[in-house]
Structure 1
Amino acid sequence: MNPAEPRRDGTRAIISGAGMLSVAMLMANIGNYALNIFLGRVLTPAEFSDANLMVTLMLTATAVALGLEMVTARYTSVAEAGGNPGAADLVARRLRWWTGGAGVVAAVALIAPAPLWSDLFQTASAWPFVILGLGLPFYLQQAIGRGVMQGRLRFGLLASTFVIEMVTRLSVAIALVAAGWGVVGATIGLSASFIVTWVSVTVLARASGERADPAIPMSEVGRYGAFVSVLLAAQMIANNSDVLVSKAVLAPDDAGTYAAVALVGRAVFYLAWSVATVVFPVVARRHAGGDDSGGILRGSILVISAMGGLCALGALWLGGPVLGIVIGPAYADLSVPLAAYALATTLFAVANLVASVALSTGVLRPSVFVLGGALAQLMLLLIWHDDIAQLILVQIIAMSALVAAMAIDAAVRRPTSARHDEGAAA
Structure 2
Amino acid sequence: MTAIILKLKRTLTPQQIFMASAFVVNVGNYAYNLLLGRFLGPRAFADAVILITLLLVLSFVAMTFQLTVAKYMVELHSRNQNSFIQQAYKYALMFGLVLGAAVVIFAPELQSLFQTESSLMFTIFGAAVPLYFIMSVNRGKLQGDQSFVELSITYQFEMFWRLGLTFILLSILPVSPAIIVSIAIGVSFIAGLFPFKKVRRASFLKVDLSAAEKKSILRFFLLTAFYELTQIVCNNSDILMVKHYFDSYDAGLYSSLALIGRVVYFVTWMFVMLLLPAVIDLRKRGEDPIPVLKKYVGYITALSAMIVSFTFIVPEFAVTLLFGEQYLSIAPLLGWYALATSFFAISNIFAYYFLSLDKYKPVIIAGIFGLVQVYAISLFHDSLFQVTIAQVLVMSGLLVIQLGYFMMHQKYAKSANRLESTIRLH
Q: TM-score range by the shorter chain?
A: 0.7 to 0.9
Q: Does 1:327 align with 2:316?
A: no
Q: Does 1:133 align with 2:133?
A: no
Pick one of 268, 272, 283 that aligns with 1:272. 268
Q: Does 1:47 align with 2:38?
A: no
- Residues 153, 194 of structure 2: 8 Å contact kept: no
Mean CA deviation greater in 382-391 or 262-271 = 262-271
Mean CA deviation greater in 60-69 or 30-39 = 30-39
Q: Does 1:96 align with 2:89?
A: yes
For 1:249, give the aligned amino acid: Y
Mean CA deviation greater in 138-147 or 384-393 = 138-147
Cα deviation 1:245-278 (Å, max 9, x = unaligned): 1101112211110011112233433343344345
Q: Does 1:369 align with 2:344?
A: no
Question: 1:393 aligns to what?
Answer: 389
For 1:332, give the aligned amino acid: L
- Residues 347, 403 of structure 2: 8 Å contact kept: no
> In the aligned structure 1, how far is the partner of 2:382 from the partner of 2:16?
40
Question: 2:179 aligns to what?
Answer: 184
For 2:366, give the aligned amino acid: V
Mean CA deviation greater in 144-153 or 295-304 = 144-153
Question: 1:9 aligns to what?
Answer: none
Pick one of 98, 111, 114 that aligns with 2:107. 114
CA RMSD of aligned residues (A): 3.3
- Residues 74, 281 of structure 1: 8 Å contact kept: no
TM-score, structure 1 as length reference: 0.82
> In the aligned structure 1, how far is the partner of 2:363 from the partner of 2:16?
26
Q: Does 1:173 align with 2:151?
A: no
- Aligned residues between the structures: 402
Question: 2:33 aligns to what?
Answer: 36
Question: 2:24 aligns to what?
Answer: 27
> In the aligned structure 1, how far is the partner of 2:86 from the partner of 2:418?
43
TM-score, structure 2 as length reference: 0.82
Pick one of 64, 67, 72 that aligns with 2:64. 67
Give me the identity figure in percent: 25
> In the aligned structure 2, how far is the partner of 1:368 from the partner of 1:253?
35
Shift of 1:115: 0.7
Shift of 1:286: 5.8
Change (3 A) 1:174 1:356: same
> In the aligned structure 1, how far is the partner of 2:55 from the partner of 2:39?
21
Question: 2:416 aligns to what?
Answer: 420
- Residues 18, 274 of structure 1: 8 Å contact kept: no
Shift of 1:279: 4.0
Question: 1:143 aligns to what?
Answer: 136
What is the correspondence of 1:217-236 to structure 2 with a 5 Å cutoff? Answer: 217-236=213-232
For 1:384, give the aligned amino acid: F
- Residues 321, 333 of structure 1: 8 Å contact kept: no
What is the correspondence of 1:145-160 to structure 2 with a 5 Å cutoff? Answer: 145-148=138-141, 150=143, 158-160=151-153
Question: 1:6 aligns to what?
Answer: none
Shift of 1:417: 2.4
For 1:113, give the aligned amino acid: F
Gaps of 5+ in 1: 1-15
Counterpart secondary structure, 2:262 = helix
> In the aligned structure 1, how far is the partner of 2:288 from the partner of 2:317?
46
Change (3 A) 1:24 1:314: farther
Q: Does 1:248 align with 2:241?
A: no
Pick one of 174, 178, 195 that aligns with 2:190. 195
Shift of 1:123: 0.7
Question: 1:105 aligns to what?
Answer: 98
- Residues 25, 271 of structure 1: 8 Å contact kept: no
Shift of 1:116: 1.0
